[in-house]
């Protein structure tokens, strides 16, 4: 895949094992590119263009982005909904008897409560598998550390959304060099392409290709 922008001379080669880092030193330009990238992945128009051979790939379908590492939990509702559908298929094929027994047990439990309670109760005898999953808080385990959450996120996006390229804004400000190296390694094993947008140039890691746009808006490749 290739990533281009109408303002930039560089065309970025997007592939697993090759981490593109675009450092934009001017704060206004950095904010502009970041806002544009976030918007395009959300479905808005913009000047970034992702392509493969002669085909243009919509960033909203092919890409995913993380830019707020402080409030981000790593577990998205879209993934949970698709997880429930997957689990329902598995349960329907392999655990249908157990599910029917659970429904019968819950019906017996609520019937007994109804007979003892001073107030008449109404309840659904079968709330469906999704209702059961929600009641017990079934979700994907995202992990505790930021690194574990990031790795969980790309795995989940690959499985449930078929995401082809992952974008990060300010990733090198929240991960150490050791964590970054581990993250890059795990992403390469999963054949996941990464693209980083940064505001400050930091030490280059082995798998990074670093392009800098300095404060004079001169563009050059560092590595």
Q: What is the pLDDT of residues 89-141, one digit of tens each?
A: 888 888 888 888 888 888 888 888 888 888 887 777 667 788 877 777 776 66
Predicted local distance difference test score (pLDDT) of residue 78: 61
Domains plus CATH for the chain? 2-75+162-221 (3.40.50.11940), 78-135 (no CATH)
Going from the C-alpha of 29 to that of each of 35, 65, 76, 125, the distances in angstroms are: 10, 18, 29, 58
DSSP H helices, the chain, are 27-41, 59-62, 77-94, 96-116, 128-135, 146-160, 177-189
Q: What is the mean pLDDT of residues 5-26?
A: 94
Least confident of 81-95, 148-162, 173-187: 81-95
Please give the Cα distance from 183 to 180 (Å, whole number).
5
Predicted local distance difference test score (pLDDT) of residue 132: 78
- Residue 196 reports pLDDT greater than 70: yes
User: Which residue, 43, 64, 66, 16, is CA-closest to 161?
Assistant: 64
Q: What is the pTM of this model?
A: 0.77
Instruction: Give the best-scoring range by mean pLDDT among 61-70, 73-82, 111-120.
Output: 61-70
Predicted local distance difference test score (pLDDT) of residue 205: 94
Predicted local distance difference test score (pLDDT) of residue 141: 67
Predicted local distance difference test score (pLDDT) of residue 74: 55
Q: If pLDDT is split at 50, 70 and 90, which confidence band does 23 have?
A: very high
Please give the Cα distance from 52 to 200 (Å, whole number).
29
For residues 171 and 145, is the Cβ–Cβ distance under 8 A? no
């Amino acid at each position: 895949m290739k990533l281009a922008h109408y303002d930039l001379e560089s065309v970025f080669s997007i592939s697993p094992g090759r981490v593109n880092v675009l450092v934009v030193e001017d704060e206004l330009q950095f904010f502009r590119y970041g806002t544009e990238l976030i918007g395009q992945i959300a479905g808005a128009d913009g000047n970034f263009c992702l392509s493969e051979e002669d085909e243009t790939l919509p960033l909203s379908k092919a890409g995913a982005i993380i830019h707020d590492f402080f409030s981000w939990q790593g577990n998205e509702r879209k993934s949970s909904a698709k997880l429930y559908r997957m689990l329902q298929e598995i349960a329907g094929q392999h655990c249908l008897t157990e599910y029917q027994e659970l429904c019968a047990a819950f019906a017996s439990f609520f019937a007994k409560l109804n007979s003892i309670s001073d107030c008449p109760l109404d309840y659904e005898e079968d709330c469906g598998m999704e209702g059961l999953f929600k009641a017990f808080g079934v979700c994907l385990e995202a992990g505790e550390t930021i690194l574990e959450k990031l790795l969980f996120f790309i795995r989940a996006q690959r499985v449930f959304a078929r995401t082809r390229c992952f974008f990060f804004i300010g990733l090198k400000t929240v991960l150490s060099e050791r964590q970054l190296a581990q993250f890059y390694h795990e992403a390469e094993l999963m054949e996941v392409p990464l693209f980083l947008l940064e505001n400050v140039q930091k030490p280059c890691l082995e798998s990074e290709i670093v392009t800098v746009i300095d404060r004079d808006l001169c563009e050059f490749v560092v590595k």
